[in-house]
């Protein structure tokens, strides 16, 4: 059975989270579409919050 690709919003969220963990700025968001950009920023915000709580260094 073929593995299905995750949808774009899930990927955007996950990449935003990775960028946040890496300490990148939210201005580095590569997406232009409002809903996809919103997902990326949501992941970024959660990662920043996790970093502030000490889960990542």
56, pLDDT greater than 80: no
From CA 55, how far away is CA 57, in angstroms rounded? 7
Q: 27-36, pLDDT tens digit by residue?
A: 999 999 999 9
The C-alpha atoms of residue 26 and residue 18 are separated, in whole angstroms, by: 12
Which tens digit of pLDDT belongs to each residue from 7-28?
A: 889 999 999 999 999 999 999 9
Q: Would you place residue 3 in the very low, low, confident or very high pLDDT band (cuts 50, 70, 90)?
A: low
Give me the pLDDT at residue 25, please: 95
pTM: 0.84
């Amino acid at each position: 059975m073929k593995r299905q690709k995750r949808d774009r919003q899930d990927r955007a969220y996950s990449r935003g989270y990775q960028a946040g963990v890496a300490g990148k700025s939210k201005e580095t968001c590569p997406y232009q579409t409002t809903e996809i950009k919103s997902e990326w920023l949501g992941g970024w915000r959660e990662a920043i919050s996790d970093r502030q709580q000490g889960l990542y260094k």
